[in-house]
Amino acid sequence: MELFSGNYFLDFFMRYLHVLVGIAWIGLLYYFNLVQVPALATYGDEAKARNITLDKLARRALWWFRWAAIATLGTGLLITGQPDYWQNFLGEGSTAGIGHDAAISVGMLYGLTMAANVWMIIWKNQKIVLANAVNVLGGGQADPNAAAAGRRALLASRQNLIFSVSMLWFMVGSAHFYSGAYAEATPSQASTYVIIAVVIGAILQLNALGKLGGSAATNKLLWPYESHKNALITSGVLWLVLWLLSEFMLG
């Protein structure tokens, strides 16, 4: 079969699957941040209704969310794990591909951080929230740790929302923009740009983890995460900064 011969399996089929499962992952990320969390905030004193929603709806959505993240990560690694994929950065390919390698590097590193957030922070803490909802619905006492766990998950989820705009920009742009628009970029310029983008992302990630002043709402540095609107604004600012930096550093 032609689809499974030559390079078509990795160059096309895996890319197709990567995009397909990526849509599921990022689509659910936007659902949680833009729909579910704001909706639950309007429940007011309807604690039972909120817990039912968490148990019956959020639990299912989180299952698809976390496994779509794994599928996106796995297919992406299969694509970029090909022996000649990084030949431009390694000095073995055309210099015209340096922009591509720089863009895909930033997109991948942001994507890897997002996948780590899903499994190591969001899901880890949401399990506590979901268990608490089931326990309370069954007549048990509320877990005093549930609120803090929910906030940790929320901060990481909104950080993923912030990363997602730039991550998608670089993933798509690696083939359709950066590979041609910055054909004259040197490996040194590209490497420096990737390092700066990673440092910016690392600072944001540490902030979302509460490492720059704690996770309490009184920490002013957490403004980007206190509402989905703030997160959307921050995502746009991050994209603008990274794009302008690429214009100055790679152009």
Q: For 215-237, how does the pLDDT look when each residue is reduced to its tens digit (9 = 90+)? A: 999 999 999 999 999 999 999 99
- Average pLDDT, consecutive stretches of 10 residues, N- to C-terminus, the chain (251 residues): 69 90 98 96 89 96 98 92 68 63 92 98 98 95 95 98 97 83 80 95 98 95 97 98 93 73
C-alpha to C-alpha distance for 85 and 80, rounded to whole angstroms? 6
The answer to whether the pTM exceeds 0.85 is yes
pLDDT number for residue 91: 54
19, 104 Cβ separation under 8 angstroms: no
What is the token pair recorded at 234? 């921050």
pLDDT number for residue 44: 85
What is the Cβ-side half-sphere exposure of residue 157, based on CA atoms within 13 angstroms? 29
- pLDDT tens-digit readout, 130-173: 999 999 999 999 999 999 999 999 999 999 999 999 999 999 98
What is the Cβ-side half-sphere exposure of residue 218, based on CA atoms within 13 angstroms? 1
pLDDT number for residue 14: 87
Nearest to 237, CA basis, from 162, 157, 156: 162
C-alpha to C-alpha distance for 5 and 108, rounded to whole angstroms? 27
